[in-house]
């Protein structure tokens, strides 16, 4: 149903780019959608910061929403402030704030020019990938609260959650990069200094030759002891668990190569294989770093503390005092405003509560609570102000207790990657060959035994398998990340490949925020529409507000004798006509059997028709479900009631499972039930109500509207607009195994050529030095080439 | 020809300096954020106004 105010040409706000409704505001020739956007423009204009608009088109974030004035009052509290800042002395204070709205170079420009908007700020530096800004300011001239309010005014409201108060940020681990640097340095220099030996240094220059050999020996020691350390550590850990992983034969090969080469140099019998050894360490470290690339702006382990705010207003002796959440005690009275989160279980003592629990229980329609009723923590108040008497402290509330259940602890037994199994076969085969060779040479020429056996280990290193694995994982993770699908680790790729059943949550995952409103009944005249909207504008109920937004009138007619009966409807007199909006019992005085969320409307007690509010599904959903059903089982779970049953049934088909009124435990149990039947389950959800199910499933994907704010703990995070690409993502992950195998088999041919020389005891360092990089290069080309070609084919 | 030993020592020393510089730059976090520098370079340098030259 379109708005009656349809304009032929749409005017876009100069600041944020959104379409301006009738109430557009003009400053010279620029249009703005609201006062907020216009104000930001004026502030920037005065300070000469209009380059903000030159760098990108419509870079602003829309200001067209209500903002509370005292939202950051809690930052005045010294205890809270000291926990949030990173450094303080008598003059300067350093603080790092998380701004999820950072998205372009204009944001960078504006945020690094904050000192022009506030005298107290000395400097600010943006970390673009982490979406953070580090601000240095003078404690005497400004305060943390003032800075937070300034940022909010220009559109970059900082996201400060309970998590910031409690958890220290882990330091970035850069050790792998140091190791890579050292390995690269040594590898390069050793290669350089091996040239004289390979290119035929005169045998008479014996001292010079040994100088080079000893230098190589010396340079290889840091690599042996420092750079290769992760391999020793990993193989030691796995051997302690009586398990042979892929790093064990690699550690063995590195050590054997070093020992053999050291012996050759010490006894003067040869040059050793230092360049091969340092080369493989270098390439394998590079592969590991590629594979372990972390996305610092995301966290896969966030718990409810990232969802809760830092402080809330407590009424003490008649005054509102912002109090940090951990300090809220049983018996406190909280004052909660519109759009504020309820932090603790309590009893409603004043105000009308319309609580949006969609993120927490999955119900999409707000729940109405009367004074005296118990309200649970985690929901958002969508009406006016309410007061709550705390019954349970924050950490003990019903919902937080839910996520601390033992079942949600990390599964200790992770599935084994197929690569580890492959490497074990490989190791046994190599050992077999080595044994046969040793026996053979023992019988024919005992001098050759050790040279042959050590050469076999040098050339037949399973590093090719590790390289194939890490490079393929690294490139697939990068391709998926480019498509805003971020995996927790490389192991997740294999988990996705093994999926056989997919479970969707409905609210927020398959549906978009907002509602579709359809009208059925007698046509309403323009006057009647205005009267109806005037009445709806008096109510704080979210459905009334959606109705007002739909028609978008700027002025409302006056309403007299307004009455709101909670749970039933609203009525009032507009221009002498008695208008009623509500459920069927209220408006028509007989109950109906129409399913769904319906609001009837009547004028002077004559019912004209009804509005149906239904979920707005993402456009891609029907096609997506159809594609997925071809290969996987599909189910939809929801915490909502059965209002959407017909629509969902059409989407799914008769046999597929569709469950309503699922509480968080019910979702978890359903997934367990599927797993007991032997299925590998993928769960896709977006809210805290899915947290248990996400953990229980083999692979849990958290869907997010903007991949910055809170997402429940999961194995992967997907941007909501990329949901339609799910079949392509799964196919890419399935291809991972094939690509690894293909490149590994290719590299085995190099190994076989090398083995030909090795078993004869004839492996010269130069042959090894040529074979090893060419094998690595071949692997690199095959893995990157095939994964990117496949991605292109899948349109990723 | 044995003068090459001096050259070797010199080249390895210089290369070590580069290695140390690399390690130091990674340690001070210069490589942590690859994205910002690319955008930062495009900004114009406006003349610094008189009020904000406080140094501490």
Are the C-beta atoms of residues A698 and A682 closer than 8 Å to each other? yes
Are the C-beta atoms of residues A514 and A354 closer than 8 Å to each other? no
Q: Give the CA radius of gyration of chain A.
A: 33
| Structure confidence by residue, pLDDT tens digits, A361-374 | 777 778 888 888 88
Whether ipTM > 0.90 holds is no
Point out the residues of chain B with pLDDT beneath 50.
50-56
Query: What is the arrangement of strands in the sheet containing A657-659, beginning at the earlier edge strand?
Result: A485-487, A716-719, A699-704, A681-685, A501-505, A633-637, A657-659
Interchain proximity A127–B32, CB inside 8 Å:
yes
Residue A427 CB burial class (10 angstroms; 0-12, 13-18, ≥19)? buried
Other CB atoms within 10 A of residue A67 CB = 12
How confident is the prediction for chain B on average, in pLDDT? 79
Contacting residues for A264 by C-beta, under 8 A, at least 6 apart: A270, A271, A272
Tell me the sheet residues that pair with A520: A610
Cα A133 to Cα A128: distance, rounded to the nearest angstrom = 8
Q: Which residues of B touch A115 (CB under 8 A)?
A: 52
Q: Which residue has the tokens 């005690």?
A: A329
With CA atoms as reference, report the closest residue to A638 among A612, A673, A664, A613. A664
Are the C-beta atoms of residues A553 and A540 closer than 8 Å to each other? no
Are the C-beta atoms of residues A47 and A53 closer than 8 Å to each other? no
pLDDT score of A178? 94
pLDDT score of A701? 92
Phi then psi for residue A378, to 5 deg, are 105, -20
What pLDDT band is residue A407 in, cutting at 50, 70 and 90?
A: low
Paired tokens of A785: 């080439």
The SS3 of residue A618 is coil
Task: Report B:6-35 residues touching A (Cβ under 8 A).
Answer: 8, 12, 15-16, 18-19, 22-23, 26-27, 29, 31-35
The architecture in CATH of the region A73-160 reads: 2-Layer Sandwich (3.30)
What pLDDT band is residue A296 in, cutting at 50, 70 and 90?
A: low
pTM score of the predicted model? 0.82
A–B CB contacts, 8 A cutoff, strictly below: 71
Burial per residue of A444-462, b for 16 or more beta-carbon CB atoms within 10 angstroms, e otherwise: eeeebbebbbbbbbbbbbb
Report the gap between the CA of B41 and the closest CA in chain A (Å).
10
3-state secondary structure string across A741-771: HHHHHHHHHHHHHHHHHHHCCCCCHHHHHHH
DSSP A169: P
pLDDT score of A719? 87
Residue A58 clears pLDDT 60, i.e. is over it: yes
What pLDDT band is residue A21 in, cutting at 50, 70 and 90?
A: low
Cα A562 to Cα A580: distance, rounded to the nearest angstrom = 10
Q: Which residues of B touch A128 (CB under 8 A)?
A: 33, 35-36, 39
pLDDT score of A557? 82
Q: Which residues of B touch A215 (CB under 8 A)?
A: 8, 12
Paired tokens of A381: 């108040």
Residue A3 clears pLDDT 50, i.e. is over it: no
The SS3 of residue A9 is coil
Report CA-CA distances (Å) from A399 to A67, A326, A394, A659, A689: 27, 16, 10, 21, 9
Other CB atoms within 10 A of residue A544 CB = 21
| Opening angle at CA A78, ends A72 and A83, nearest 5 | 85
**Lowest-confidence pick of A552-556, A612-616, A780-784:** A552-556
In a 13 Å sphere around the CA of A361, the CA atoms on its Cβ side amount to: 22
Residue A658 clears pLDDT 90, i.e. is over it: no
With CA atoms as reference, report the closest residue to A675 among A505, A501, A492. A501
Contacting residues for A388 by C-beta, under 8 A, at least 6 apart: A333, A334, A336, A342, A344, A346, A347, A348, A349, A375
Interchain proximity A129–B33, CB inside 8 Å:
yes
Residue A526 clears pLDDT 50, i.e. is over it: yes
Are the C-beta atoms of residues A311 and A325 closer than 8 Å to each other? yes
| Structure confidence by residue, pLDDT tens digits, A211-260 | 899 999 999 999 999 999 999 999 898 888 887 778 888 888 899 899 99
Residue A685 CB burial class (10 angstroms; 0-12, 13-18, ≥19)? buried
Interchain proximity B12–A215, CB inside 8 Å:
yes
- Mean pLDDT (whole number) for A110-135: 88
Q: CB of B48 within 8 Å of any CB in chain A?
A: no
Helices of type H across A268-388: 274-291
Residue B56: which of A55, A91, A185 has the nearest Cβ? A91
Report the gap between the CA of B45 and the closest CA in chain A (Å).
11
| Structure confidence by residue, pLDDT tens digits, A751-762 | 788 888 888 777
Q: Which residues of B touch A207 (CB under 8 A)?
A: 2
Are the C-beta atoms of residues A501 and A596 closer than 8 Å to each other? no
Alpha carbon A57 to its chain's center: 27
The SS3 of residue A682 is strand
Report the gap between the CA of B11 and the closest CA in chain A (Å).
10
With CA atoms as reference, report the closest residue to A700 among A500, A402, A712. A712
Residue A698 clears pLDDT 60, i.e. is over it: yes
In A645-777, DSSP assigns E strands to 657-659, 681-685, 699-704, 716-719
With CA atoms as reference, report the closest residue to A499 among A716, A703, A738, A678. A678
Phi then psi for residue A340, to 5 deg, are -95, 150
Interchain proximity B33–A130, CB inside 8 Å:
yes
Strands A657-659 and A633-637 turn out to be parallel
Top-ranked range on mean pLDDT: pick from A151-160, A453-462, A687-696: A151-160
**Lowest-confidence pick of A13-27, A641-655, B27-41:** A13-27
pLDDT score of A699? 92
Between 3.30.70.20, 3.40.50.460, 3.60.10.10, 3.40.1110.10, what CATH number should domain A515-616 receive? 3.40.1110.10
How confident is the prediction for chain A on average, in pLDDT? 83
pLDDT score of A728? 93
Answer yes or no: CATH 1.10.510.10 is held by domain A304-402: no
Q: Where in chain A is the domain with CATH 2.70.150.10?
A: 304-402
Q: Where in chain A is the domain with CATH 3.40.1110.10?
A: 515-616
The percent of residues in chain A predicted with pLDDT above 70, rounded, is 93
Interchain proximity B19–A182, CB inside 8 Å:
yes
pLDDT score of A409? 53
Q: Which residues of B touch A172 (CB under 8 A)?
A: 29, 32
Are the C-beta atoms of residues A195 and A188 closer than 8 Å to each other? no
Residue A174: which of B8, B27, B46 has the nearest Cβ? B27
pLDDT score of A408? 52
| Structure confidence by residue, pLDDT tens digits, A727-740 | 999 999 999 989 98
pLDDT score of A660? 85
Report CA-CA distances (Å) from B39 to A47, A106, A122, A313, A689: 21, 9, 21, 40, 39
| Structure confidence by residue, pLDDT tens digits, A578-601 | 888 888 878 777 776 666 778 888
Cα A228 to Cα A250: distance, rounded to the nearest angstrom = 10
pLDDT score of A67? 64
pLDDT score of A680? 92
| Opening angle at CA A129, ends A125 and A130, nearest 5 | 70
Residue A172: which of B16, B19, B32 has the nearest Cβ? B32
Cα A193 to Cα A278: distance, rounded to the nearest angstrom = 13
- Mean pLDDT (whole number) for A690-704: 87
Cα A679 to Cα A479: distance, rounded to the nearest angstrom = 27
Q: List own/partner pairs for A171-177 with CB under 8 A and 24 or more apart.
A: A172/A296, A172/B29, A172/B32, A174/B26, A174/B27, A176/A230, A176/A285, A176/A288, A176/A289, A176/A292, A177/A289, A177/B26, A177/B31
Alpha carbon A418 to its chain's center: 26
- Helix (H) / strand (E) element for A389: namely strand A386-390
Are the C-beta atoms of residues A193 and B4 closer than 8 Å to each other? no
- Could you write out the DSSP letters of every residue in A79-143? HHHHHHEEEE-SSEEEEEEE-TT--SHHHHHHHHTGGGT-TTEEEEEEETTTTEEEEEEETTT--
Are the C-beta atoms of residues A181 and B23 closer than 8 Å to each other? yes
Alpha carbon A647 to its chain's center: 30
Q: Which residues of A touch B21 (CB under 8 A)?
A: none
Q: Which residues of B touch A126 (CB under 8 A)?
A: 36
Residue A406 clears pLDDT 70, i.e. is over it: no
- Could you write out the DSSP letters of every residue in B2-56? TTHHHHHHHHHHHHHHHHHHHHHHHHTTTTS-SHHHHHHTTS--PPPPGGG----
Paired tokens of A674: 């599927």
Residue A181: which of B22, B43, B54 has the nearest Cβ? B22
pLDDT score of A796? 86
- Mean pLDDT (whole number) for A692-711: 81
Residue A536 clears pLDDT 90, i.e. is over it: no
| Structure confidence by residue, pLDDT tens digits, A173-217 | 789 999 999 999 999 999 999 888 888 777 777 888 888 999 999
The four Cα atoms A460, A461, A466, A472 give a dihedral, to 10 degrees, of -40
Are the C-beta atoms of residues A150 and A117 closer than 8 Å to each other? yes
Report CA-CA distances (Å) from A504 to A264, A636, A694: 63, 5, 11
The SS3 of residue A516 is strand
Cα A699 to Cα A675: distance, rounded to the nearest angstrom = 12
Residue A489, sorted as left (phi over 0), alpha (psi -120 to 50) or beta, turns out to be beta
Q: Where in chain A is the domain with CATH 3.30.70.100?
A: 73-160
């Amino acid at each position: 149903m379109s708005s009656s105010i349809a304009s032929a040409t749409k005017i876009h706000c100069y600041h944020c780019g959104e379409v301006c409704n009738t109430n557009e505001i003009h400053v010279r020739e620029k249009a703005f959608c609201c006062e907020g956007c216009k104000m930001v423009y004026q502030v920037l204009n005065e300070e000469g910061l209009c380059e903000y608009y030159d760098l990108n088109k419509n870079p602003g974030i829309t200001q067209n929403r209500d903002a509370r004035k005292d939202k950051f009052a809690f930052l005045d509290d010294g205890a809270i402030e000291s926990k949030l800042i990173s450094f303080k002395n008598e003059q300067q204070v350093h603080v790092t704030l998380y701004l999820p709205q950072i998205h372009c170079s204009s944001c960078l420009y504006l945020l690094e020019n904050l000192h022009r908007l506030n005298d107290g700020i000395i400097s600010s530096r943006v970390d673009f990938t982490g979406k953070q800004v580090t601000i240095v300011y003078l404690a005497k001239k400004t305060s943390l609260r003032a800075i937070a309010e300034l940022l909010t005014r220009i559109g970059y409201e900082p996201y400060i959650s309970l998590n910031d108060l409690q958890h220290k940020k882990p330091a970035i681990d850069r050790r792998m990069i140091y190791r890579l640097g050292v390995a690269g340095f040594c590898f390069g220099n050793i290669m350089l200094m091996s040239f004289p030996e390979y290119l035929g240094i005169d045998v008479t220059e014996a001292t010079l030759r040994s100088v080079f050999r000893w230098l190589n020996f010396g340079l290889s020691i840091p690599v042996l002891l420092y750079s290769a350390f992760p391999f020793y550590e990993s193989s030691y850990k796995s051997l302690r668990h009586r398990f042979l992983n892929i790093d064990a034969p690699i550690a063995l090969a590195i050590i054997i190569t070093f020992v053999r080469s050291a012996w050759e140099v010490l006894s003067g019998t040869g040059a050793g294989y230092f360049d091969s050894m340092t080369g493989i360490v270098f390439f394998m470290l590079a592969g590991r770093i590629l594979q372990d690339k972390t996305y610092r702006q995301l966290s896969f382990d966030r718990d409810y503390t990232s969802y809760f705010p830092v402080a809330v207003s407590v009424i003490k002796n008649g005054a509102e005092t912002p109090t940090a959440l951990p300090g809220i005690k049983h018996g406190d009275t909280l004052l909660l405003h519109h759009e504020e989160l309820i932090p603790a279980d309590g009893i409603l003592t004043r105000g009308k509560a319309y609580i949006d629990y969609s993120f927490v229980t999955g119900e999409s329609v707000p729940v109405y609570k009367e004074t005296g009723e118990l309200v649970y923590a985690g929901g958002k108040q969508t009406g006016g102000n309410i007061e709550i008497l705390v019954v349970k402290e924050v950490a003990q509330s019903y919902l937080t207790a839910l996520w601390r259940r033992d079942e949600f602890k990390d599964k200790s037994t992770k599935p084994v990657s197929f690569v580890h199994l492959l490497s074990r076969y490989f190791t046994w085969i190599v050992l077999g060959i080595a044994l046969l060779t040793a026996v053979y040479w023992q019988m024919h020429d005992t001098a050759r035994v050790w040279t042959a056996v050590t050469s076999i280990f040098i050339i037949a290193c399973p590093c090719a398998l590790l390289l194939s694995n890490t490079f393929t994982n690294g490139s697939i993770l990068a391709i998926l990340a480019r498509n805003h699908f971020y995996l927790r680790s490389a192991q997740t790729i294999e988990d996705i490949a093994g999926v056989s059943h997919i479970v969707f949550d409905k609210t927020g995952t398959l549906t978009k925020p907002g509602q579709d409103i359809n009208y059925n009944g007698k046509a309403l005249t323009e006057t009647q529409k205005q009267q109806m909207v005037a009445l709806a504008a008096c109510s704080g109920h979210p459905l009334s507000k959606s109705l007002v937004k739909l028609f978008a009138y700027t002025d409302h007619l006056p309403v007299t004798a307004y009455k709101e009966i909670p749970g039933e409807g609203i009525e009032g007199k507009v221009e002498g006509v008695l208008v009623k909006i509500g459920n069927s019992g209220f408006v028509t005085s007989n109950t109906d059997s129409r399913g769904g969320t319906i609001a009837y409307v009547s004028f002077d007690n004559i019912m004209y028709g009804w509005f149906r509010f239904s979920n707005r599904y993402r456009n891609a959903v029907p096609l997506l479900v159809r594609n997925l059903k071809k290969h996987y089982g599909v189910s939809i779970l929801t915490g909502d009631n059965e209002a959407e049953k017909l629509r969902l049934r059409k989407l799914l088909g008769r046999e597929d499972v569709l469950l309503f009124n699922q509480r968080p435990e019910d979702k978890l149990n359903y997934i367990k039930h599927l797993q007991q039947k032997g299925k590998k389950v993928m769960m896709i959800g977006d809210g805290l109500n899915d947290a248990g199910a996400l953990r229980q499933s083999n692979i849990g994907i958290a869907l997010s509207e903007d991949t910055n704010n809170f997402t429940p703990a999961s194995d992967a995070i997907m941007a909501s607009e990329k949901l339609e690409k799910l079949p392509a993502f799964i196919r890419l992950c399935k291809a991972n195994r094939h690509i690894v195998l293909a490149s590994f088999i290719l590299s085995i041919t190099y190994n076989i050529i090398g083995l030909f020389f090795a078993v004869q005891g004839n492996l010269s360092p130069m042959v090894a030095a040529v074979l090893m990089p060419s094998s690595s290069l071949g692997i690199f080309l095959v893995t990157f080439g095939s994964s990117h070609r496949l991605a292109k084919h899948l349109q990723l | 020809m044995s003068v090459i030993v001096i050259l070797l020592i010199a080249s390895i020393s210089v290369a070590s300096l580069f290695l140390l510089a690399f390690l130091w730059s990674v340690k001070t976090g210069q490589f942590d954020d690859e994205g910002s520098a690319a955008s930062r370079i495009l900004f114009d340098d406006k003349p610094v106004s008189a009020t904000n030259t406080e140094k501490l």
